[in-house]
Amino acid sequence: MDKESGPEGGQEKRVAARAGSRARLRDFSRSLPMSLLKAREAVMRHFRPGLLRFGITEQQWRVLRALTTVESIEVMALAEATFLLPPSLSRILKDLDERGLVNRRTSQEDMRRGIISISEEGRQLIDLAGAHSEAIYAEITRRYGAAQLAALQAMLRELETVLADPIGIDDRSSADGEGQASTNAKRMGD
């Protein structure tokens, strides 16, 4: 048996065919998810020391900030608003509750649903840490420019709006047998 017709030859052809049909990935430095993560990290590097000084984590701050915008909110809605997984949010809320920074109660309509609100102590912490946060915003604005920062925030809102509906690539990919590849790419964030 020659190499082409043997069992190994068939395997080699399949591997070569897959390698030839592989999608060309953009350079890692041009990956949108990575660019957004790097920008987030650059911003958070300025906010973290203040959060640490006030004894709260980034996720706790996110929860407390979200709670300042509502009178009260269901736990699942809070998880969606803060982009936290429910198990993570549950641990965060337990800690914030133990510290007296939030109030928890059960929904009158459905005893399985928890309702959360910020406590007076939580509002006081937000006021203290918020002054520090606003000073950082002022410095970022000074360095980056008010117009550029406003434009960036508008562009990010627009990107979020445009991408709110599925792109549809998964539908097309599964039709031609590449559904798993697009699912894997989605999981990797690129």
Two structure tokens written together for 56 = 């709260």
Classify domain 27-163 by CATH architecture. Orthogonal Bundle (1.10)
Residue 54 burial by CB count (10 A; 0-12/13-18/19+): exposed, middle or buried? middle
Two structure tokens written together for 40 = 């987030």
Contact 126, 68 (CB under 8 A): yes
How many other CB atoms sit within 10 Å of the CB of residue 47?
17
What pLDDT is stored for residue 48 in this prediction?
Answer: 96
pLDDT in tens, the chain (190 residues): 555 555 556 666 665 555 556 778 888 888 999 999 999 999 999 999 999 999 999 999 999 999 999 999 999 999 999 999 999 999 999 999 999 999 999 877 777 788 999 999 999 999 999 999 999 999 999 999 999 999 999 999 999 999 998 876 665 444 444 444 444 344 334 3
pTM: 0.71
How many other CB atoms sit within 10 Å of the CB of residue 102?
23
How far from 41 is each of 29, 47, 96, 102, 153, CA to CA, in Å? 15, 10, 24, 27, 16
Contact 132, 141 (CB under 8 A): no
Nearest of 151, 143, 130 to residue 42 by alpha carbon: 143
What pLDDT is stored for residue 112 in this prediction?
Answer: 75
